[in-house]
């Protein structure tokens, strides 16, 4: 099923309701991802940010609402059609998810072998080009166990761009990385987005890093969009809940203690 979605919008989510394991995650979520831009999804832990990525890829199905990718409702197509749609999107997993028994070369070549009939000489050229783009060409014969965390993340990024997707979804790309590696990854996301004409959707807790390169930001909480705008607009939001999250304040609408819990003194 297709719909008339503006050409400059690659992902559109409309009135999405989703519950998992008896817990209501989203209640009427609406958002859209502009084509060719870097969009960030921020929010407190446990609000279902990664769930959005899984809904876009149709790994999860909402109870209500629609998810459009390139104008197509991802939950209203056949399995073969969905398989073709997924080749236009890519995911950089939080762990990198490299195959441990394959070299870096074999990991990056895997989607090309899986989805194309290209001759091996051309596959090799593409793999080396993608590794060059992320500064990992010298690691072509190494195995994942021989890579640092940052190197593994970059090798996984090379694999995610192997098929030249329209959309790359990043699930916590900076987690567990040192400040230098974070800086490298931020630059790579920005440079690849611009040079390859990609659209990037980044789920992260690293506010400072992503606000440096994002064109648009959504903050999700309480089952909906709590705030949205450019990094400048978000940084100067009048909503105390948005300000608390962006600034990492201890005091604010989101309390330290869980709702309904008694303090130690009240228990005495």
pLDDT class for 256, splitting at 50, 70, 90? very low
Q: How far apart are CA 94 and CA 41, in angstroms?
A: 15
Tokens of 66: 């629609």
Residue whose entry in the numeric block shows the structure tokens 């459009």: 68
Burial 70-102 (b: 16+ CB within 10 A, else e): bebbbbebeeeebeebbeebbbbbbebebeeee
Report how far apart, in Å, the C-alpha atoms of 49 and of each of 73, 181, 195, 205 are: 20, 23, 27, 10
pLDDT, tens digit, 9 for 90 and up, residues 11-45: 999 999 999 888 899 999 999 999 999 999 998 77
- Which is higher by pLDDT, 131 or 149? 131
pLDDT, tens digit, 9 for 90 and up, residues 217-243: 999 988 889 889 999 998 888 887 888
Mean pLDDT for the chain? 87
pTM tops 0.75, yes or no: yes
Q: Are strands 224-229 and 9-20 parallel, antiparallel or unpaired?
A: unpaired
pLDDT, tens digit, 9 for 90 and up, residues 80-134: 999 889 989 998 887 778 899 999 999 999 999 988 899 999 999 999 999 999 9
């Amino acid at each position: 099923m297709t719909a008339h979605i503006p050409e400059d919008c690659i992902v559109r989510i409309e009135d999405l309701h989703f519950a998992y394991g008896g817990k209501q995650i989203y209640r009427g979520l609406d958002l859209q991802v502009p084509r060719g831009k870097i969009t960030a999804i921020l929010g407190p832990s446990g609000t279902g940010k990664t769930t959005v990525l899984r809904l876009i890829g149709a790994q999860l199905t909402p109870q209500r609402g629609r998810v459009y990718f390139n104008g197509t409702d991802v939950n209203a197509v056949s399995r073969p059609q969905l398989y073709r749609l997924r080749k236009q999107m890519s995911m950089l997993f939080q762990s990198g998810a490299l195959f441990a028994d394959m070299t870096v070369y074999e990991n990056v070549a895997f989607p090309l072998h899986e989805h194309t009939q290209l001759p091996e000489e051309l596959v090799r050229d593409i793999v080396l080009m993608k590794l060059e783009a992320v500064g990992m060409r010298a690691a072509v014969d190494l195995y994942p166990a021989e890579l640092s965390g940052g190197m593994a993340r970059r090798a996984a990024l090379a694999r995610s761009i192997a098929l030249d997707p329209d959309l790359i979804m990043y699930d916590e790309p900076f987690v567990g990385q040192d400040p230098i590696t974070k800086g490298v990854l931020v630059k790579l996301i920005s440079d690849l987005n611009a040079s390859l004409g990609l659209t990037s959707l980044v789920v992260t807790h690293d506010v400072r890093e992503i606000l440096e390169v994002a064109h648009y930001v959504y903050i999700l909480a309480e089952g909906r969009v709590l705030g949205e705008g450019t990094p400048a607009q978000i940084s100067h939001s009048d909503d105390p809940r948005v300000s608390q999250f962006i600034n990492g304040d201890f005091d604010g609408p989101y309390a330290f203690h869980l709702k309904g819990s008694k303090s130690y003194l009240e228990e005495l």
